[in-house]
């Protein structure tokens, strides 16, 4: 099998499939099925946590990305030395359990829907906050730089060092160092509280617009290059994304950010309802 088929991009939280492989995970057991609704932790950009739930009635202690090398060795998570989708590698969703299940068994898979919904809200809010931050910081650029999908300088992609999705929120960290200054960004006069006010005003308008959100899915494979879309009043926003999302901005019931600036590091905490 070159890639596990996944149904989470369409919002599925349940499924039934056959165990096709078992992989040792320390003292635990990694179960691979042909098709799964589980969202695994991405090894290259681990922003959205793995889904919780059960497989064959057993609790899923973790859900990670696995990669089969051209030589047949299966590597997991941070131990994978290549990017997802690299040619010659097989890409697997590995459900980690404390108890083994036999290869060939047909099992039910059930994701914790409430936890998934909380992460989906946090992930959509994270993307909206990044776009709003780009708009609020547009005046701090002294050179032309790559724009985001709404035509504003893409500060988020130029400066981000880490992003972590949480239930109903996210934490994004940006480095305002020498490399960003060379690209043309200046932090002179940057007031985090003032920027946050502008970001929050724009977020309130976007939530009130109840804009539709969707994930473009070119194929069912884990390796498919998926794209987040949101039809905002300013235009169609798009961001490459392998996570899960709500279906409309109005589902979020409010999004607010706080910004802190410390030692050339800008940190954005995002919280939302929904």
% of the chain at pLDDT higher than 90? 96
Query: Average of pLDDT values for 15-34?
Result: 97
HEC string of 19-30 equals EEEEEEECCEEE
Angle (nearest 5°) at CA 124 between 122 and 128: 115
Q: What is the pLDDT of residues 225-260, one digit of tens each?
A: 999 999 999 999 999 999 999 999 999 999 999 999
Q: What is the pLDDT of residues 102-150, one digit of tens each?
A: 999 999 999 999 999 999 999 999 999 999 999 999 999 999 999 999 9
In the prediction, which pLDDT does 86 show? 87
Query: Average of pLDDT values for 181-191?
Result: 96
DSSP letters of 83-129? -TT-TT-EEEEEEEESS---TT-EEEEEE-HHHHHHHHHHHHHHHHH
CA dihedral 32, 109, 11, 50 (to 10 degrees): -60
Distance of CA 32 to the CA centre of its chain: 22
The answer to whether the CB of 263 falls within 8 A of the CB of 239 is no
Q: Which residue intervals of the chain are DSSP H helices?
A: 113-136, 155-159, 178-182, 192-208
Query: Does the pLDDT at position 1 exceed 80?
Result: no
Between the CA of residue 112 and those of 54, 60, 99, 262, what are the distances in Å?
A: 8, 10, 19, 37
The answer to whether the CB of 29 falls within 8 A of the CB of 55 is no
In the prediction, which pLDDT does 15 show? 98
Q: Would you tell me how many other CB atoms lie within 10 Å of the CB of residue 240? A: 11
The answer to whether the CB of 67 falls within 8 A of the CB of 80 is yes
Q: What is the pLDDT of residues 31-46, one digit of tens each?
A: 999 999 999 999 999 9
In the prediction, which pLDDT does 27 show? 96
| Tokens linked to 89 | 């590698």
% of the chain at pLDDT higher than 70? 100
Determine the number of helices (DSSP H) and then strands (DSSP E) in the chain.
4, 17
Phi and psi at residue 227, in whole multiples of 5°? Answer: -135, 130
Query: Average of pLDDT values for 153-180?
Result: 98
């Amino acid at each position: 099998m070159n890639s596990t088929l996944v149904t989470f991009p369409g919002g599925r939280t349940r499924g039934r499939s056959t165990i096709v492989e078992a992989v040792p995970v320390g003292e635990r057991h990694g179960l691979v099925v042909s098709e799964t609704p589980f969202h695994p932790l991405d090894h290259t950009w681990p922003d959205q946590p793995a889904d919780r739930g059960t497989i064959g009635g057993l609790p899923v202690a973790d859900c990670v990305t696995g990669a089969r090398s051209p030589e047949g060795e299966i590597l997991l998570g941070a131990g994978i030395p290549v990017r997802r989708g690299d040619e010659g590698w097989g890409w697997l969703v590995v459900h980690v359990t404390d108890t083994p299940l036999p290869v060939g068994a047909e099992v039910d898979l059930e994701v914790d829907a409430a936890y998934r919904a909380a992460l989906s809200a946090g992930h959509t809010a994270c993307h909206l906050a990044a776009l709003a931050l780009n708009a609020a910081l547009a005046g701090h650029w002294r050179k032309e730089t790559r724009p985001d999908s709404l035509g504003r300088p893409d500060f988020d992609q130029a400066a981000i060092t880490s992003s972590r999705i949480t239930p109903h929120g996210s934490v994004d960290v940006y480095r305002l160092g020498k490399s960003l200054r060379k690209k043309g960004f200046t932090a002179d006069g940057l007031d985090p509280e003032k920027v946050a006010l502008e970001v929050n005003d724009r977020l309130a308008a976007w939530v009130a617009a109840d804009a539709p959100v969707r994930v473009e899915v070119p194929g069912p494979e884990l390796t498919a290059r998926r794209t987040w879309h949101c039809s905002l009043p300013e235009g169609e926003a798009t961001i490459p994304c392998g996570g899960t999302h709500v279906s409309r901005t109005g589902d979020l019931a409010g999004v607010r950010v706080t910004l802190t600036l410390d030692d050339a590091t800008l940190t954005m905490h995002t919280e939302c309802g929904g």
